[in-house]
């Protein structure tokens, strides 16, 4: 056998950027250490698995902290990849999960635990005192929480889909409780190992029908303290303030980060929140980078596929995220190269299926334009007379529907890229559609639905979706979640609950979060408005009672206004063509 070293170059096409990583069998030997224990300030010990180059030495370290168990094939593979490239790679079970001691308590301990872990890494004889963090979802949020504590060895972050807006992302959105997510995720993390499989034959119709919400978990199979805490703390009080980031937090965080998210990522609201906070306030604002593809939550780690639902996004939308992470750490932790060859922001527009490199995100040339709702008073269903135009309304009749919380609009098939016409045929769904477009309409940035509405209830919900209507009639869903929502009692802010005066007309702002999409010629823009998306959010019982303990139900008569004095509209972030 030829013993001469064979050098290879592993290349990844990253939306137009070719990243090459040199590799040699001389670097291929890896040592692994399982069950490495890290002591924390309160005496709890967290447990990790560690991969190192075979040659003794001090190496830059990449840290992953996870509640989803460290003993996963993905981490073994990445551990070997990074160790061969001259890194220490360590994956740690967070407090109360897997092999680690203590009690799991959502994100609340992860700032201090991350700080202690990073400081401990810096003291080890295999560490050169420089640490970077990577990982997606929960594993991304813990990076920001640790960075806020400012551990000395922490050099850079690679957060993928980081949660961070807890009343507009999870476990609440627009103040509405994410019932489906909360039961699933909080049951899954209720023990030291994954618990999701034990709910595989749950009678979900029975569970979701149970009231009060505060004991719905027991009907599923167990009392879950996190679930009950989330319902009990129904405003952005001191309980949540521990993990909410303010402008002063960002102003003290001097750390580079490459933020990864997607237009269909359920944690995009948090990812964009951290990006905007760092760009606005951090001393490291010029060391922030942003990548958003046409990806859902999981695809922020895998880099996607050519289609999602019925939405074509082509193979050019796919990115080797792990290769990008390695390139980022080579720059941050090894200064190889000293400058990072990546635009400030790189985003993908579905529809035209193209990557765009930007000097900033959102782009400064983006224009906020209003698509106004119109009708002759019969916008119910997709067969009604609801329209969208750029023209301000004159004197027009309002639209109305009866919202029955015992017969809510289903959130399925509200998955991105799926046809929504089955829902748009319901009489309690108002539908507004543009004429067929003669020219492309590109949007890039935050999308809002702003309505003037009244209800005869003390509290209720207003829910909206944005769809792209194809020439064949399909109405494909766009957005991060199945729908956007505002719970009326939170219309004045998430830090307080203010009930509605029945019959009073008020403005409601429904956030659909950030999107990058081009509506092509021959297509139409459509918005739908209703009051439920079950079981995505708990159906508002319209009573005004405390949501956690409410056992009463009532119907609500909803009226949407779109006249000269009370316009309703979709606020689109429109990009100029050319």
Tens-place pLDDT, residues 169-192: 999 999 999 999 999 999 999 999
User: Is the confidence at residue 164, as pLDDT, over 60?
Assistant: yes
Report the alpha-carbon distance of residue 243 to residue 143 in Å, rounded. 12
Report the alpha-carbon distance of residue 279 to residue 288 in Å, rounded. 7
User: Is the confidence at residue 5, as pLDDT, over 80?
Assistant: no
Residue 358 phi, psi (nearest 5): -125, 150
Please compute the mean of the pLDDT values over residues 272-297 and round it to a whole number. Answer: 98
Rg of the chain taking only CA atoms, in angstroms: 25
- Sign of the Cα torsion 183, 186, 191, 194 reads positive
Q: Which two tokens stand for residue 282?
A: 């951090």
Model pLDDT, residue 19 = 41
User: Is the confidence at residue 10, as pLDDT, over 90?
Assistant: no
Would you kindly state where each structural domain of the chain is located, as residue ranges?
8-160+245-305+314-349, 172-238, 367-575
Which residues are within 8 A (CB) of 364 and not within 5 positions of it... i.e. 6 or more apart?
Answer: none
Model pLDDT, residue 429 = 98
Strand 88-93 versus strand 45-53 pairing type: antiparallel
- pLDDT bin (cut points 50, 70, 90) of residue 414 is low
Report the alpha-carbon distance of residue 261 to residue 78 in Å, rounded. 20
Strands (E), 475-521: 475-478, 484-487, 506-519
Please compute the mean of the pLDDT values over residues 475-495 and round it to a whole number. Answer: 96
**Tally of CB atoms within 10 A around 460:** 29
Angle at 144 between CA 59 and CA 279, to 5 degrees: 105
Report the alpha-carbon distance of residue 72 to residue 123 in Å, rounded. 26
Report the alpha-carbon distance of residue 364 to residue 347 in Å, rounded. 14
**Residue 258's closest CA among 348, 150, 135, 367?**
135
Report the alpha-carbon distance of residue 253 to residue 150 in Å, rounded. 7
**Residue 526's closest CA among 459, 467, 568?**
467
Model pLDDT, residue 6 = 29
**Tally of CB atoms within 10 A around 448:** 18
Percentage of residues in the chain having pLDDT higher than 70: 95
| In contact, 515 and 447? CB cutoff 8 Å | yes
Q: CA–CA distance from 141 to each of 100, 319, 460 (Å)?
A: 19, 22, 31
- How many Å separate Cα 170 from the centre of its chain? 9
Q: Looking at residue 380, what DSSP letter applies?
A: B
User: Is the confidence at residue 4, as pLDDT, over 50?
Assistant: no
Report the alpha-carbon distance of residue 375 to residue 94 in Å, rounded. 54
Model pLDDT, residue 415 = 84
- pLDDT bin (cut points 50, 70, 90) of residue 22 is very low
| In contact, 262 and 293? CB cutoff 8 Å | yes
Residue 328 phi, psi (nearest 5): -60, -45
Model pLDDT, residue 448 = 98
What is 8-160+245-305+314-349's CATH topology?
Rossmann fold (3.40.50)
User: Is the confidence at residue 123, as pLDDT, over 80?
Assistant: yes
Q: Which two tokens stand for residue 133?
A: 């963090």
| In contact, 419 and 474? CB cutoff 8 Å | yes
| In contact, 320 and 15? CB cutoff 8 Å | no
Model pLDDT, residue 3 = 34
Please compute the mean of the pLDDT values over residues 102-126 and round it to a whole number. Answer: 98
Q: What average pLDDT does the chain have?
A: 94
User: Is the confidence at residue 67, as pLDDT, over 50?
Assistant: yes
pTM, whole model, 2 decimals? 0.94
- pLDDT bin (cut points 50, 70, 90) of residue 577 is confident
- pLDDT bin (cut points 50, 70, 90) of residue 288 is very high
Q: CA–CA distance from 281 to each of 53, 290, 564 (Å)?
A: 38, 16, 39
Model pLDDT, residue 412 = 79
Model pLDDT, residue 7 = 33
Model pLDDT, residue 8 = 33
* Domain 367-575 listed as CATH 3.20.20.140: no
Please compute the mean of the pLDDT values over residues 262-289 and round it to a whole number. Answer: 98
Which residues are within 8 A (CB) of 443 and not within 5 positions of it... i.e. 6 or more apart?
Answer: 515, 516, 517, 518, 519, 572, 573, 574, 575
Lowest mean pLDDT among 1-10, 354-363, 519-528: 1-10
> Matching CATH topology for 8-160+245-305+314-349 and 367-575?
no
Q: CA–CA distance from 60 to each of 114, 127, 259 (Å)?
A: 17, 6, 21
């Amino acid at each position: 056998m030829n013993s001469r070293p064979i050098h290879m170059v592993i290349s990844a096409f990253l939306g137009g950027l070719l990243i090459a990583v040199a590799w040699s069998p001389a670097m291929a030997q890896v040592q692994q250490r399982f069950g490495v224990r890290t002591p924390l300030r309160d005496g709890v010990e967290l447990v990790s698995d560690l991969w190192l180059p075979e040659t003794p030495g001090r190496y830059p370290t990449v840290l992953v902290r996870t509640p989803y168990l460290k003993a996963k094939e993905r981490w073994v593979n990445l551990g070997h990849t990074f160790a061969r490239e001259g890194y220490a790679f360590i994956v740690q079970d967070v407090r109360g999960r897997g092999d680690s001691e203590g009690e799991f308590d959502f994100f609340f301990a992860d700032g201090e635990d991350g700080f202690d872990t990073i400081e401990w890494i810096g003291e080890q004889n295999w560490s050169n005192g420089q640490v970077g963090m990577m990982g997606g979802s929960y594993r991304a949020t813990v990076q920001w929480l640790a960075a806020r504590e400012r551990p000395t060895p922490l050099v850079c972050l690679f957060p993928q889909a980081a949660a961070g807006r807890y009343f507009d992302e999870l476990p609440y959105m627009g103040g509405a409780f994410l019932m489906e997510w909360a039961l699933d995720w909080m049951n899954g993390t209720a023990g030291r190992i994954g618990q999701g499989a034990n709910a595989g034959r749950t009678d979900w119709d029975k569970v979701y029908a149970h009231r009060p919400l505060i004991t719905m978990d027991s009907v599923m199979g167990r009392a879950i303290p996190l679930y009950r805490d989330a319902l009990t703390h129904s405003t952005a009080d001191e309980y949540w303030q521990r993990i909410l980031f303010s402008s002063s937090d960002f102003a003290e965080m001097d750390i580079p980060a490459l933020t990864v998210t997607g237009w269909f990522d359920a944690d995009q609201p948090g990812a964009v929140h951290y990006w905007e906070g760092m760009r606005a306030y951090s001393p490291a604002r010029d060391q922030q980078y942003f990548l958003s593809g046409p990806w859902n939550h999981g695809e922020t780690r895998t880099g996607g596929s050519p289609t999602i639902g019925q939405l074509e996004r082509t193979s050019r939308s796919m990115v080797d995220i792990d290769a990008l992470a390695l390139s980022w750490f080579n720059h941050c932790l090894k200064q190889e190269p000293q400058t990072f060859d990546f635009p400030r922001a790189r985003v993908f527009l579905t529809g035209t299926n193209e990557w765009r490199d930007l000097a900033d995100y959102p782009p400064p040339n983006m224009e906020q334009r209003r698509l106004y709702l119109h009708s002759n008073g019969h916008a119910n269903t997709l067969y009604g007379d609801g329209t969208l135009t750029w023209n301000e309304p004159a004197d027009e009749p309002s639209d109305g529907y009866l919202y029955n919380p015992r017969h809510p609009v289903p959130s399925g098939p509200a998955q991105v890229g799926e046809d929504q016409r089955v829902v748009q045929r319901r009489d309690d769904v108002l539908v507004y559609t543009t004429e067929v477009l003669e020219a492309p309409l590109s949007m890039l940035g935050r999308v809002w639905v702003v309505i003037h509405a009244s209800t005869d209830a003390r509290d209720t919900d207003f829910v909206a979706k944005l769809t792209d209507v194809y020439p064949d009639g399909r109405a494909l869903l766009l957005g991060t979640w199945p729908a956007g929502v505002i719970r009326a009692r939170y219309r004045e802010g998430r830090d307080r609950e203010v009930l509605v005066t029945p019959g009073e007309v008020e403005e409601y702002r429904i956030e659909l979060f950030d999107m990058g999409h081009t509506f092509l010629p021959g297509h139409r823009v459509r918005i739908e408005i209703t009051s439920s998306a079950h079981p995505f959010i708990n159906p508002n019982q319209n009573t005004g009672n405390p949501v956690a303990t409410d056992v009463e139900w009532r119907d609500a008569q909803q009226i949407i206004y779109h006249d000269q004095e009370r316009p309703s509209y979709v606020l689109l972030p429109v990009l100029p063509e050319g």
